Amino acid sequence: MSTPPPLASGPQGPRHLRPLLDTVLDALHTGSGARNGPLPAGGPATVTAAVLDAVGEVLPDQGDPDALRTLVRVLAEGAADPAHPWCAAHLHCPPLAVAAAADLAASVLNPSLDSWDQAPAASALEALVTQALAREAGHTDSLVTTGGTEANQLALLLARELLGGTVRLVHAAGAHHSLPRAAWLLGLPDPVEIPAPAGTLDPAALDDALTHLPGPHLVAATAGTTDAGLIDPLPEIAARCAAHGARLHIDAAYGGALLFSDLHRPALAGLDAAHTITLDLHKLGWQPVPAGLLTVRDPGELTVLAHHADYLNADDDTDAGLPDLLGRSLRTTRRPDVLKIAVTLRTLGRAGLGALVDQVCAHAREFARLVRDDPRLELHDRPVISTVLFRPADADDTGVAALRRHLLTTGRAVLGRARADGRLWLKATLLNPAVRTDDLTGLLTLVHQAHAEGPR
Ligand SMILES: Cc1ncc(COP(=O)(O)O)c(C=O)c1O
């Protein structure tokens, strides 16, 4: 009988892992070096061909001892690297090394947070971290999610269970698409979209909608819009919701991390008035995916998620003091994503995280200044968090879209796109605290070069 492959956990786990980690780190190094830019050049066909070539057979008859090196290398070479200063399209952050290292431990130990007997210490840590993060937002407790989408879904689910299936979602035009999608998923009435000509939810228009539409209502405001990083006027919205008895959810998937910064926290005034808040530390929080949370002001509301499965939370086990974890998520098997978050919070402290937030916001301001001072470019507006919308002054929408794709397919830069004021803009979402002024001017030079290369 052949020897089984080595296991990651157990007393011998570290001994087995060490040489494999060397292989992974070498392959990451070689792969990223071979890419030599923020993403692979050549576009989808070239990348697919390279992956096909490296992978060969996905399930060969006989195993390949070099598979780890081969596959990690090809993935690194073909990655869009958010640590590269010219990879700035999405809310796709470069993860901190310490968080990635902690995530390795989570994979090795493999606790599953659906029952205490699979995750004794991890469940205790999760309780501490979720409460601590909720307190940062002025709330009491929070649930760990796979990101903003799942947190928004849970927020709508809580509203449906607490207010009934006729609860109607009211949101601004710039709200994240996962909100109306969650309404569809949960069988709620068609959501009401309030126009947001200035990019944010207009409290007067909200007041009008709440006055004329039959309730109950769930208002979803946003602290950090996906397209432009704008923050809705939270105190005014909270006041209108209170006046109409509407429930308030705030999607702070992007902007929530401003809480860590003394300088930027005031922009979130009014956040704690929400019944639920989406946070997402795999955006502005430098965590490997996934690292989402939904905070609740009233922890009693979470009882609507209570669920029973005898093999995981038998009543007599719960009565005997074993924590009942099943109502903390709609998932069953669940990774300890709090480990990397806890390690990050404690390693950096509030001051360290706040400094990172301040740095990326300062980079966005600097980038916006460079755009504004360049007559060949047009700046959409001053950044509120770390997103800057801009475009070549003489380009039309088709030109802007083609320019972005040209940068992508030549592997030179990853910029996003966003529509604002009826026009298409290039979007730079600056999430890398280590970028320098040279990187920012270099990015603009690339934009000019690509624009000069003309229509494609
Ligand atoms: C404001 C906002 N909410 C929610 C989400 C969804 O987050 P996730 O992609 O982590 O599910 C995003 C994603 O960009 C977002 O920008």
Looking at residue 345, its pLDDT comes to 98
Q: Read off the pLDDT of each residue in 202-213 and give the average, rounded to a whole number.
A: 97
Contact between 172 and 222 (Cβ < 8 Å): yes
Looking at residue 5, its pLDDT comes to 93
Ligand 1 nearest-atom number relative to CA 222: 1
Q: Among 91, 171, 278, which residue has the most ligand 1 atoms within 8 Å of its CB, making it the best to mutate?
A: 91
- Which has the closest alpha carbon to 142: 322, 329, 306, 350? 329
Does ligand 1 lie within 6 Å of residue 291's CB atom?
no
Ligand 1 nearest-atom number relative to CA 282: 10
Does ligand 1 lie within 6 Å of residue 178's CB atom?
yes
Does ligand 1 lie within 6 Å of residue 226's CB atom?
yes
154 CA from centroid of ligand 1 (Å): 13
Residue 455, pLDDT > 90, answer no
Q: Among 93, 150, 280, which residue has the most ligand 1 atoms within 8 Å of its CB, making it the best to mutate?
A: 280
Which CATH number describes the domain made up of 350-453? 3.90.1150.10
Looking at residue 1, its pLDDT comes to 61
Taking only the tens place, the pLDDT of each residue in 84-127 is: 999 999 999 999 999 999 999 999 999 999 999 999 999 999 99
Does ligand 1 lie within 6 Å of residue 280's CB atom?
yes
Percentage of residues of the chain with pLDDT beyond 70 = 99
Looking at residue 454, its pLDDT comes to 76
Does ligand 1 lie within 6 Å of residue 222's CB atom?
yes
pLDDT averaged over the chain? Answer: 97
Does ligand 1 lie within 6 Å of residue 256's CB atom?
no
The domains of the chain are located at 14-79, 100-347, 350-453
Does ligand 1 lie within 6 Å of residue 292's CB atom?
yes
Does ligand 1 lie within 6 Å of residue 93's CB atom?
no
Residue 23, pLDDT > 90, answer yes
How many residues make up the chain in this entry?
456
What residue owns the CA closest to ligand 1's atom 10? Answer: 147
Looking at residue 372, its pLDDT comes to 98
327 CA from centroid of ligand 1 (Å): 23
Does ligand 1 lie within 6 Å of residue 176's CB atom?
yes
Ligand 1 nearest-atom number relative to CA 147: 10
Looking at residue 2, its pLDDT comes to 80
Contact between 129 and 150 (Cβ < 8 Å): no
Taking only the tens place, the pLDDT of each residue in 128-179 is: 999 999 999 999 999 999 999 999 999 999 999 999 999 999 999 999 999 9
CA separation for the pair 257, 91 (Å, rounded):
13
261 CA from centroid of ligand 1 (Å): 21
Looking at residue 32, its pLDDT comes to 96
193: phi then psi, degrees, rounded to nearest 5 = -100, 125
Q: Among 146, 178, 250, which residue has the most ligand 1 atoms within 8 Å of its CB, making it the best to mutate?
A: 178
State the pairing for strand pair 217-222/192-194.
unpaired
Does ligand 1 lie within 6 Å of residue 200's CB atom?
no
pLDDT band at residue 456 under the 50/70/90 scheme: low
Does ligand 1 lie within 6 Å of residue 254's CB atom?
yes
CATH of 100-347 given 3.40.640.10, 3.30.110.40, 3.30.465.10, 3.40.50.150: 3.40.640.10
Looking at residue 365, its pLDDT comes to 98
Looking at residue 102, its pLDDT comes to 98
Q: Read off the pLDDT of each residue in 248-263 and give the average, rounded to a whole number.
A: 98
Does ligand 1 lie within 6 Å of residue 147's CB atom?
yes
Contact between 304 and 158 (Cβ < 8 Å): yes
Tokens of 444: 């603009």
- Amino acid, res. 333: T
- Amino acid, res. 24: V
pLDDT band at residue 72 under the 50/70/90 scheme: very high
